[in-house]
């Protein structure tokens, strides 16, 4: 663009010199040259600051690493790579046999634990019957003791007979207290079981829930709408729940955005809503319109984290570029560009809008230059 401006200015100067018959001397020629430098330089500087441009841009997209929840042998991989699927469709299956066995084992253990409810109920009723029997025996021995005590006062019984009946009565009282304590214990155990507070049943139920969860994890589903690519998983392989070893990568089907890294000099001319032009190396000779979505609020190069070391001045030498999130508003679907395609971006601010024509011409010229490359 600068060459085009220089040539245009040179043509204007020649025309002016010819039309007005201006002599070529030590005053006119330097004046024309200096005027050209000032004019062209001013236009370029205004364009660079108010309508920033970057070659460091590209499309970003979110992927989900698919890691199985359980360890097992893969028996089926029904998913088709590079084909759009819906959330909840099956990606692959793990052999469920050991997990089904574990569920059956825990179900049996739960049934066994629940059988204790009937046993505790029977124990409680037996304790009630024992208490009732002890009450009856206590009442009988007390009545005999009282009768013998009255007879002793009248001389009908001896003191030994009264003392003997007193001992029977006290023994019956002790038996009743023991029966009542046993009834309270049986009642507490039975009511705790009925209210679901039995620790054995609770443990078995928790183990059953875990076993059912592990069984459900043998079938891995798509987390969202999207697709998988580069599928190397095959039946017979061992899937292991290790976070750093996903078995496939799922690409989420969501609105895609572009990120551009601009110079910090132009931050005041980068605001949401500003129009932008995009050019792709894959699509030479074409430009696409878009707009700025947001300016990301942090620059990654200068982040710090808690660590057992002090930071030096070298931390400040990393002059990072702010990242700008943008969106292409033109339709790109006919071109079938792969995700992650690199892009060059020009943003047009609302300052010195007439100078933006230079940037628009430049970026279109840059797009045509993408036809020129040598690979040999």
Cα 261 to Cα 267: distance, rounded to the nearest angstrom: 11
- 8 Å CB contact between 59 and 258: yes
Number of domains in the chain: 4
239 and 102 co-located in one domain: no
371 and 285 co-located in one domain: yes
233 and 367 co-located in one domain: no
Look up the domain containing 319 and give its range.
51-61+256-303+314-376
Cα 89 to Cα 167: distance, rounded to the nearest angstrom: 80
Cα 173 to Cα 179: distance, rounded to the nearest angstrom: 10
91 and 231 co-located in one domain: yes
Position 144 in a domain: yes
159 and 84 co-located in one domain: no
Give the phi and the psi of residue 189 in degrees, each rounded to 5.
-65, -40
371 and 260 co-located in one domain: yes
264 and 368 co-located in one domain: yes
200 and 299 co-located in one domain: no
88 and 233 co-located in one domain: yes
- 8 Å CB contact between 341 and 59: yes
Report which of 288, 363, 359 is spatially closest to residue 50, judged by C-alpha positions.
359
Report which of 257, 250, 239, 271 is spatially closest to residue 348, judged by C-alpha positions.
271
Q: Diameter of the chain by CA atoms?
A: 167
pLDDT in tens, the chain (376 residues): 556 666 676 777 777 767 777 777 777 777 777 777 787 778 888 988 999 999 999 999 989 999 999 999 999 999 999 999 999 999 999 999 999 999 999 888 888 777 766 666 777 788 888 888 888 888 888 888 777 777 777 777 777 777 787 888 888 888 888 888 888 877 777 666 665 556 677 788 889 999 999 999 999 999 999 999 989 999 999 999 988 889 999 999 888 899 999 999 989 999 999 999 999 999 999 999 999 999 999 988 888 888 788 888 888 888 889 999 999 999 998 998 999 999 999 999 998 888 888 899 889 989 999 998 887 6
Cα 187 to Cα 193: distance, rounded to the nearest angstrom: 10
């Amino acid at each position: 663009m600068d060459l085009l401006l220089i040539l245009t200015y040179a043509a204007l100067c020649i025309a002016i010199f010819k039309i007005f018959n201006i002599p070529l001397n030590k005053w006119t020629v330097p004046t024309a040259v200096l005027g050209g430098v000032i004019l062209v330089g001013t236009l370029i500087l205004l364009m660079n600051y108010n309508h920033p441009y970057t070659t460091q841009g590209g499309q970003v997209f979110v992927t989900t690493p698919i890691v199985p929840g359980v360890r097992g042998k893969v028996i089926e991989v029904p998913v088709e790579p590079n084909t759009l699927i819906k959330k909840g469709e099956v990606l692959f299956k793990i052999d469920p046999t050991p997990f089904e066995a574990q569920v059956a084992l825990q179900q049996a253990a739960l049934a066994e634990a629940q059988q204790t409810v009937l046993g505790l109920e029977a124990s409680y009723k037996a304790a009630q019957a024992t208490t009732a029997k002890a009450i009856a025996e206590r009442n009988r021995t007390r009545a005999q003791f009282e009768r013998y005590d009255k007879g002793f006062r009248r001389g009908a019984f001896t003191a030994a007979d009264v003392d003997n009946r007193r001992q029977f009565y006290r023994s019956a009282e002790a038996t009743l207290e023991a029966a009542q304590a046993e009834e309270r214990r049986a009642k507490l155990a039975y009511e705790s079981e009925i209210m679901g507070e039995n620790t054995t049943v609770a443990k078995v139920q928790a183990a059953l829930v875990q076993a059912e969860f592990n069984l459900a994890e043998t079938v891995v589903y798509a987390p969202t709408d999207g697709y998988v690519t580069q599928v190397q998983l095959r039946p017979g392989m061992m899937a292991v729940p290790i976070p750093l070893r996903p078995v496939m990568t799922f690409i989420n089907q969501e609105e895609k955005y572009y990120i551009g890294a601009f110079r910090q000099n132009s931050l005041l001319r980068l605001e949401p809503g500003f129009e932008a032009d995009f050019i792709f190396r894959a699509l030479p000779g074409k430009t696409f319109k878009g707009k700025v979505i947001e300016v990301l609020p942090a620059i990654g190069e200068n982040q710090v984290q808690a660590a057992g070391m002090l930071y030096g001045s070298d931390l400040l030498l990393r002059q990072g570029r702010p990242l700008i999130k943008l969106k292409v508003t033109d339709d790109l679907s006919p071109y079938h560009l792969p995700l992650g395609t690199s892009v060059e971006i020009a943003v047009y601010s609302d300052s010195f809008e007439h100078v933006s024509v230079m940037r628009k011409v430049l970026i279109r010229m840059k797009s045509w230059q993408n036809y020129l490359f040598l690979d040999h």
